[in-house]
Structure 1
Amino acid sequence: MAQPPVALTKSAYAYEELRRRILTGEIGHGSVLSQGQLAHEIGVSTTPLREALRRLAAEGLVQLESHRDARVASLTADEARDLYVLRENLDPLAAGLAAESRTPADIEDIQAALKQLTPLHDAADLDAMTAHREFHRAVYRASHNPLLIGILEGLWDKADRYRQIGLQSQKDSEKDRKRVREEHIAIADAVVAGDAVRAREIMQRHVVGSLGRRAIAVLTEG
């Protein structure tokens, strides 16, 4: 039985551990979650576990079916398409607004996040996935549009799972990883330079080649 790190509350630890298991596919989509068993495995009581499940439910990762039952939210081709359509439109919008509204602090955050990026080699590489998200978060937060930022935060909570499906189906080639790296650099450069048109164009191209789009095909075929 695991024990939560001292720095985290039991609820926060349960949330982080469950989220990791869901995002890496250790707990498959659609799986029924036994609260008693999970609490024992993670090393917490059922009260902090339920708090963690409510937080995950708010992010769309878990469905709470009753007081006792919980299930990992299923992944569907329809939801993958819906997420892709939204991201294809909203991510470029945010990048363009970021180029127009970025502050010196935003520029520093974007450049720092860019330096932390590493290639996504497989679906279990959650650190690389998190760094990828932090880069995009730094960009869309620079838009200084609270409504748009909130929408994108929610979309990325869901989209991370579809990226995992994309990676599980087919690992990126060296050419793919080089392209993604170049796109990230170009997005950062355009935002820092204040070039809204270029920032939107590169971000849209980036979304078109994303793992989320690959997941649509995988789930459709499945």
Structure 2
Amino acid sequence: MPLPPVLTKNAYAYEELRRRILTGDIEQGSILSQSKLAREIGVSTTPLREALRRLAAEGMVELKSHSDARVAALTAEEAKDLYVLRENLDPLAAGLAAESRTPTDVAAIEAALEQLTPLHDAADFAAMTAHRDFHRAIYTASHNPLLIGILEGLWDKADRYRQVGLQGQQATEKDRIRVEAEHIKIAEAVIAGDPARARDAMHQHVMGSLGRRAIAVLSGD
């Protein structure tokens, strides 16, 4: 498998392994054979181990020993914890973004909004990436480094729960229309410099998010 020229072997191994975990190609709880994965991905075990360390720091992988790794299990409890944090921090970031956005931020938000496509299934990694890029453009515009770092870490964990939400409950056309409208409202409020409206729009979006849907799926509701 040829390596994309823009990525180092370490970065490629990380991106490919992360993609496989997020799309369900590698299921939660799976034991990871480093030698087998290295052969499949087309790298040596050294960049693969570095990728596993990065994924372990993000909570996706558990490292038991030098050679033993497992994809971390997903739980309803962690899904709830992530939702509580996002319910509070995402609106905060949106409000700050409305106060602090620059012309460069506005251009990034508009570009990210244009790239958004409906999330149809858990295998649509490109759509998931575009969704994250939009939210990253919003919270980056807050110009609060600590908050940006926290939200980056939360999204690393929450991406797997979004996949659970997609897999467990099929989105309807009504859902897709609602989500598209919510993204537009968030962008418009931030660009207009209206903190209260930005916070409200983001809060409404989080309440109907895939992360919240994942809680119901993992709880068996």
Please indicate the TM-score interval, normalised by the length of the shorter structure: over 0.9
1:147 aligns with 2:146: yes
1:135 maps to 2:134: yes
Amino acid paired to 2:204: R
Q: For the Cα contact (< 8 Å) 1:14–1:52, is it kept in 2?
A: yes
Any residues of structure 2 matched to 1:34-183 within 5 Å, and which?
34-183=33-182
Please give the alpha-carbon distance, in whole angstroms, between the structure 1 residues aligned to 2:180 and 2:201: 12
Between the aligned partners of 1:46 and 1:168, the Cα distance in structure 2 is: 31
Structure 1 counterpart SS, 2:59: coil
State the AA in 1 paired with 2:33: S
Instruction: Please name the residue that 1:215 is paired with.
Output: 214
Do residues 186 (structure 1) and 185 (structure 2) align? yes
Instruction: Give the % identical residues.
Output: 76
Structure 1: runs of 5+ lacking an equivalent: none
> Aligned to 2:62, what secondary structure does the other structure show?
strand
- Secondary structure, counterpart of 1:71 in structure 2: strand
Mapped to 2, the partners of 1:112 and 1:171 lie a distance apart of 28
Deviating above 6 A after TM superposition, structure 1's stretches of 4 or more consecutive aligned residues are none
Alpha-carbon separation, structure 2, partners of 1:7 and 1:143: 29
Counterpart-to-counterpart distance in 2, 1:170 and 1:81: 17
**TM superposition shift of 1:215:** 0.4
Structure 1: which amino acid aligns with 2:210?
Answer: L
Partner deviation per Cα, 1:69-127 (whole Å, 9 max, x = no partner): 11111100000000000000000000000001111111111011000000001000000
Deviation at 1:7, TM superposition (A): 2.9
The Cα offsets for residues 135-161 of structure 1, whole Å up to 9 and x where unpaired, read as: 000000101111100000000000010
Whole-Å Cα distance in 1 between the matches of residues 113 and 45 of structure 2?
Answer: 39
Counterpart Cα distance in 2 of 1:151 and 1:5? 29
TM-score by length of 1: 0.97
Size of the aligned set, in residue pairs, is: 221
- Deviation at residue 5 of structure 1 after TM alignment: 2.6
Gaps of 5+ in 2: none
Provide the C-alpha distance between the structure 1 equivalents of 2:178 and 2:152, rounded to a whole number of angstroms: 25
Q: For 1:118 and 1:6, locate their aligned partners in 2 and report how far apart those are by CA, in whole Å.
A: 27
Letter of the structure 2 residue corresponding to residue 75 of structure 1: L
